[in-house]
């Protein structure tokens, strides 16, 4: 994904994409099956997508080297300081990759640009998004993208269906400020979103946002799997668990206990600082009860709506599936803060956890552990 006046990856990626006549016919067939998902029955547990997913995972390779798909929370585009609207070129590549939910558990993720959540996009109210969507030639599924910030059929999804090796392009103006989800919206969209195809676009108000000491980007989603056959075989997607809304894992940034010392490392901050979190709940089904253990949200913009005044001093906030939140947190003392879902089994057992290590001098007037 590039978010700039000139795409950094578009020309190289487009030059590398070539598609044979047989691949085109295959892609066209898949796209025809995936169009108009809203008109299909809710229960598709025996449909084309399930058959393809099962075929993908049954044929296990002798050894699989997983790639990291967990998005770095620090990769937040810089704040916008300009006063005029611009056209931003954005390129999203739908890419299917094998990664690790946790060590020893492989999974075939469906992603935009190889990461979960998909890259954060940052724009200003009134900007125009010039969007190119590319289907990686090695994909097995069709994909598209629905922007909740887009006034257009399907949030643009009706015009961005891509099979393997295909490319589509649309342009739309982001008219409303706020944090909005974008996600894949083909026929089996719940399978695609659960497998990682969702992200956040921030549309800053014309006056911008107040500065803070640091900004972080997190996404929550459920993953529904069967037990893996072995350490080199990706766990199959479990449609029965999906229909029961009973996920095997509930994760931040696509991985079990993702940003902890035991996994990709805790985030770092200093006492006295203020952090802003851009949070997207991909779902596809569960409401998030987002809570910072050892702290409170000093400000909370419900559902990412920046036109409304923020709530203040909230302990646990509800973020709907398919929605976002903008949150701020002050850190008055050194401690370890843990981001959790206070539907607490998800944190205790299903993998939704990230840690922030706050350094600094003790403040006994706020917190101390007496020695006597």
Q: pLDDT for 300-316, tens place per residue? A: 999 999 999 999 999 99
Going by the DSSP 8-state scheme, the letter that residue 170 receives in this structure is: E
| pLDDT at res. 65 | 86
350 contacts: CB under 8 Å, gap ≥ 6:
247, 248, 249, 250, 251
> How far is the C-alpha of 74 from the C-alpha of 218, rounded, in Å?
9
| pLDDT at res. 62 | 56
pTM, rounded to two decimals = 0.84
Buried b (16+ CB within 10 A) or exposed e, 208-231: eeeebebbbbbbbbbbbbeebeee
Domains and CATH numbers, the chain: 3-204 (2.60.40.420), 216-359 (2.60.40.420)
| pLDDT at res. 30 | 38
Report strand pairing: 288-293 vs 167-173.
Answer: unpaired
Which percentage of the chain shows pLDDT scores above 70? 83
Q: pLDDT for 76-133, tens place per residue? A: 999 999 999 999 999 999 999 999 999 999 999 999 999 999 999 999 999 999 999 9
Cβ neighbours around 167 below 10 Å, total: 17
- Encoding tokens for residue 37? 């998902």
- Encoding tokens for residue 360? 């600094």
């Amino acid at each position: 994904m590039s978010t700039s006046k000139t795409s950094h990856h578009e020309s190289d990626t487009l030059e590398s994409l070539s598609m044979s006549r047989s691949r085109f016919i295959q892609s066209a067939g898949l796209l025809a099956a995936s169009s108009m998902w809203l008109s299909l029955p809710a229960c598709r547990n025996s449909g084309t997508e399930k058959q393809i997913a099962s075929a993908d995972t049954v044929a296990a390779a002798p050894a699989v080297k997983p790639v990291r798909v967990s998005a770095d929370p620090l990769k937040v585009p810089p704040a916008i300081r300009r006063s005029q609207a611009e056209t931003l070129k954005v390129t999203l590549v739908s890419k299917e990759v094998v990664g690790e939910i946790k060590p020893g558990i492989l999974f075939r993720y469906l992603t935009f640009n190889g990461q979960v959540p998909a890259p954060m996009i940052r724009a200003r109210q009134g900007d125009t998004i010039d969007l190119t969507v590319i289907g990686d030639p090695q994909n097995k599924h069709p994909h598209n993208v629905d922007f909740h910030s887009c006034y257009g059929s399907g949030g643009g999804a009706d015009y961005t269906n891509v099979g393997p090796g295909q490319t589509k392009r649309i342009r739309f103006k982001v008219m409303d400020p706020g944090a909005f989800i974008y996600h894949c919206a083909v026929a089996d969209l719940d399978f695609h979103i659960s497998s990682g195809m969702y992200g956040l676009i921030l549309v800053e108000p014309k006056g911008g946002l107040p500065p803070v000491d640091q900004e972080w980007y997190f996404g929550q989603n459920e993953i529904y799997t069967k037990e893996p056959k072995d350490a080199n075989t990706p766990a199959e997607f479990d449609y029965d668990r999906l229909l029961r809304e009973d996920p095997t894992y509930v994760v931040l940034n696509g991985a079990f206990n993702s940003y902890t010392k035991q996994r990709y490392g805790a985030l770092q901050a200093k006492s006295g600082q203020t952090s802003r979190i851009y949070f997207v709940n991909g779902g596809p089904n569960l409401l998030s009860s987002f809570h910072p253990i050892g702290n409170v949200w000093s400000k909370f913009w419900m559902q990412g709506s920046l036109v409304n005044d923020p709530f203040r001093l909230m302990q646990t906030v509800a973020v709907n599936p398919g929605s976002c939140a903008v949150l701020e947190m002050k850190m008055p003392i050194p401690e370890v803060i843990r981001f959790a879902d206070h539907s607490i089994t998800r944190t205790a057992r299903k993998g939704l956890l990230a840690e922030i290590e706050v350094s600094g001098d003790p403040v006994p007037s706020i917190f101390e552990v007496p020695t006597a």
